[in-house]
Amino acid sequence: MGGDLNLKKSWHPHLMTNQRKVWEQENKALDERKKIDALKKERDEERQIEEIRAMEEAAGGKTRNRRVEWMYSGPAAGDKGTSEEMEEYLLGKRRLNGLIKETDEKKDIGGSVVLTNGAAMGLAPVNVRDIAAKARDDPLFSIKNQEMAIMQAALQEKERTAKRRADKERKRRHHRHHESSRSRSRSPRRRSERNGDDRERTRRSHHRHHRTRA
- For the ranges 70-74, 112-116, 198-202, which has the lowest average pLDDT? 112-116
Q: Is residue 84 part of a domain?
A: yes
As a whole number of angstroms, the distance between CA 1 and CA 195 comes to 92
- For the ranges 6-10, 15-19, 27-31, 204-208, which has the lowest average pLDDT? 6-10
Domain count, the chain: 1
Cα(first)–Cα(last) distance of the chain, in Å?
110
> Does the pLDDT of residue 122 top 50, yes or no?
no
Residue 8 DSSP symbol:
G
Q: Is residue 92 part of a domain?
A: yes
> Does the pLDDT of residue 112 top 70, yes or no?
no
**pLDDT confidence bin for 73, thresholds 50/70/90:** low
C-alpha to C-alpha distances, 171 to 63, 68, 158, 179, nearest whole angstrom: 71, 57, 20, 12
Q: Is residue 22 part of a domain?
A: no
**pLDDT confidence bin for 153, thresholds 50/70/90:** confident
Q: Is residue 111 part of a domain?
A: yes
**pLDDT confidence bin for 18, thresholds 50/70/90:** confident
For residue 74, the Cα-to-chain-centroid distance in whole angstroms is 28
> Does the pLDDT of residue 182 top 60, yes or no?
yes
pTM, to two decimals: 0.26
Q: Which range of residues forms the domain containing residue 114?
A: 69-137
Closest CA to 117 of 84, 76, 88, 73: 76
Average model confidence (pLDDT) for the chain?
Answer: 68
As a whole number of angstroms, the distance between CA 78 and CA 75 comes to 8
For CA atoms 31, 32, 35, 40, the dihedral sign is: negative
Q: Is residue 167 part of a domain?
A: no
Question: Per-residue pLDDT tens for 190-202?
Answer: 666 666 677 777 7
Question: Per-residue pLDDT tens for 36-65?
Answer: 988 888 888 888 888 888 887 777 765 555
**SS3 state at 126:** strand
Burial of 79: CB neighbours in 10 Å, binned 0-12, 13-18, 19+: buried
Q: Is residue 29 part of a domain?
A: no
Paired strand residues for 114? 109, 126
> Does the pLDDT of residue 142 top 80, yes or no?
no
- List Cβ neighbours of 125 (8 Å cut-off, separation of 6 or more): 113, 114, 115, 116, 119
Q: Is residue 78 part of a domain?
A: yes
